[in-house]
Structure 1
Amino acid sequence: MASWKVSALSSGLAALGAAAVVNRHPLRSWDRPSFSGSPVNLSEGLVAAVGSLAGAACMRGPAATGATIAIGAGALAGYVDDQCEDRFPAKAKGLKGHLGALSQGKLTSGALKIGLISVGSACGVAFLKRKGSCAAQVEVWMEQTALVAGTANLVNLLDLRPGRALKACSILALPLVFHHGATSALAASILTTSAVCAPQDLNRKGMLGDLGANAIGASLGMALADLNSAKARRALLGAVVGLTLASERVSFSTVIEGNRVLKAIDDFGRRA
């Protein structure tokens, strides 16, 4: 059986199993208010993390280890930000806010999350194959690290409306299924995991939260980082960095609401 089929099947079954467990034993302490004020449960993020990890673990070769490390680090970082924010000496919003607090000697859950995702991404992409001189390989490793960490963070920034982050990941993952190796397997895993999480998300009963968004975002980042084309990787990295910086000044929701096509995609399948 092809590697992408194994990953798709494994992630789908693992996510369904995790969903069955959390539905049978609801985590009421994970309830949070949504953007509209209605309660949603962050256990969907646990389902997404389990599905993503299962898909990565069932791949072939060293890339499986790397993807598992990156996704695991993303999930751990998201859990810290979701569940332990009140235990930190300071709170902040946005990349600028977290780094600003850190420059003043105040650690926030978000700053720790950035550190965990960055380290996990660096370790994860170290298992991907690279060619060229030692200097060239180090340069590519740095680009891949930034791409994985940036994508994990960007998916989290999109998780502000029901189904938005899952749709974005699925749209990007769909063409990647037709690539090779780790890229194909991770893309298939993202699609099946998203399919399991979508009903809960679109029905406004759950959301990915930092835990799920960082996990599935790291999975997408690893799929993109393993692309053969250096031009494609650099273009994607530029887009991720640009969108992340733009989010500090512009509301994604406002932009989407003002564009007919984006709004139609964003609203599709969502319970009124």
Structure 2
Amino acid sequence: MKAQSGRLSVGLAAAGATRVAYGQLRRRPPVEARMWRRTNYAGRGVELYGGLAAAAGAATAVAAARGVALRTRFAAVGAALAAGACGAYDDQHGSPAERGFGAHLKALRERRFTSGVVKLLGIGAAGLAAGALLKADPADQVLTAVVIAGTAHAVNLVDMRPGRAAKAVIAVGAPWLLRRGPAALLAAAPVGAAAAVLRDDVSERTMLGDAGAHALGAALGSAIAVANGRTGLVLHAAALVAMTVAGDRISAGKRLWGAPGVRHVDSWGRLAHPYG
């Protein structure tokens, strides 16, 4: 009962902090408000405050989570905030012509320092730093970095329609809440933050953007890394690398998102558009 209460407390703290941050950002936009507005897939103007708020909410809840070692909290908060900061940089300076992991690697080979390269190197470095704090063995540290950075990328990969990334975080994070220990508490933070912005996301009032998607993904990846030993890390890392290689076939695959069960959940709460 105490464990369940702890998970609930962390989730509610994340949701509450996210809503407070979201309200503050809408009332007092950072710098210029127009810098945080985008046109979505349906041609509708939306703002990015939901993603910034979710990143702040998840990090705040993890930082205050009781029952999680300070070293573990520091690693998870650092990974989430670093991933969110790199995502926010890409939100502001990214080019639509250079999207996807392959484009980032190409830019890196050509020695071009694009916003995608900032994400690639920044989130990778944050994952390695978190791995050094969470695991003792060097091989496990590298695998942890892959899991954290890969989960951040995977959440951003599916963020192609309103609410899709938030639902993905909730769907992937929810099973971890059934476990005991610090991993469940860590997973409760991104799940709570995603749930707090879901309604505004599907209603196209806000969007997670790269900042929110990467931050929630890194926070969730930290929970997965904490919960797993060598074998689990290898399996999760392999699955995430496969998702990265698949790229557009996952983010825009009509067969995947058009499958009966998936389509129903994916479209839940979303505004009707002729664009899909």
Q: TM-score, normalised by structure 2?
A: 0.89
Change in 2 beyond 3 A, CA 1:271/1:250: closer
Q: Is the 8 A contact 1:96 1:248 kept in 2?
A: no
**Structure 1: 5+ residue stretches without partners:** 131-136
1:29, CA displacement in angstroms? Answer: 2.6
Q: Secondary structure at the match of 1:107?
A: coil
Q: In 2, distance between residues paired with 1:212 and 1:251?
A: 17
Q: Is the 8 A contact 1:125 1:145 kept in 2?
A: yes
**Structure 2: 5+ residue stretches without partners:** none
Question: Which of 48, 64, 67 does residue 73 from structure 2 map onto?
Answer: 64
1:55, CA displacement in angstroms? Answer: 1.7
Change in 2 beyond 3 A, CA 1:249/1:159: closer
Question: Which of 33, 40, 43 does residue 39 from structure 2 map onto?
Answer: 33
Q: Deviations over 1:59-83 (max 9, x none)?
A: 3311101001101110110011011
Q: In 1, distance between residues paired with 2:91 and 2:150?
A: 19
Within-5 A mapping of 1:1-272: 2=3, 3-26=6-29, 27-59=33-65, 60-61=68-69, 62-85=71-94, 92-130=98-136, 137-248=137-248, 251-272=251-272
1:199, CA displacement in angstroms? Answer: 1.1
**How many percent identity over aligned positions?**
32
For 1:54, the aligned partner's letter is T
1:233, CA displacement in angstroms? Answer: 2.7
Q: Which shows bigger deviation, 198-207 or 230-239?
A: 230-239
Deviating beyond 4 angstroms after TM superposition, the runs of 4 or more aligned structure 1 residues are: 248-251
Q: Is the 8 A contact 2:128 2:145 kept in 1?
A: yes
Q: Is the 8 A contact 1:122 1:142 kept in 2?
A: yes
CA RMSD in angstroms, aligned pairs only: 1.9
Q: Deviations over 1:52-104 (max 9, x none)?
A: 11122113311101001101110110011011337xxx962211112112211
- Structure 2 counterpart of 1:133: none
Q: Is the 8 A contact 1:19 1:47 kept in 2?
A: yes
Change in 2 beyond 3 A, CA 1:257/1:66: closer
Q: In 2, distance between residues paired with 1:250 and 1:266?
A: 13
Q: In 2, distance between residues paired with 1:110 and 1:218?
A: 16
Q: In 2, distance between residues paired with 1:39 and 1:264?
A: 25
1:143, CA displacement in angstroms? Answer: 0.8
Q: Is the 8 A contact 2:101 2:247 kept in 1?
A: no
For 1:18, the aligned partner's letter is A
1:248, CA displacement in angstroms? Answer: 4.5
Q: In 2, distance between residues paired with 1:269 and 1:187?
A: 24
Q: In 1, distance between residues paired with 2:37 and 2:43?
A: 12
Q: In 2, distance between residues paired with 1:192 and 1:4?
A: 10
Q: Deviations over 1:105-157 (max 9, x none)?
A: 21110011111101111111222244xxxxxx111111111010011011011
1:181, CA displacement in angstroms? Answer: 2.9
1:206, CA displacement in angstroms? Answer: 1.1
For 1:268, the aligned partner's letter is W
1:6, CA displacement in angstroms? Answer: 3.7
1:249, CA displacement in angstroms? Answer: 5.2
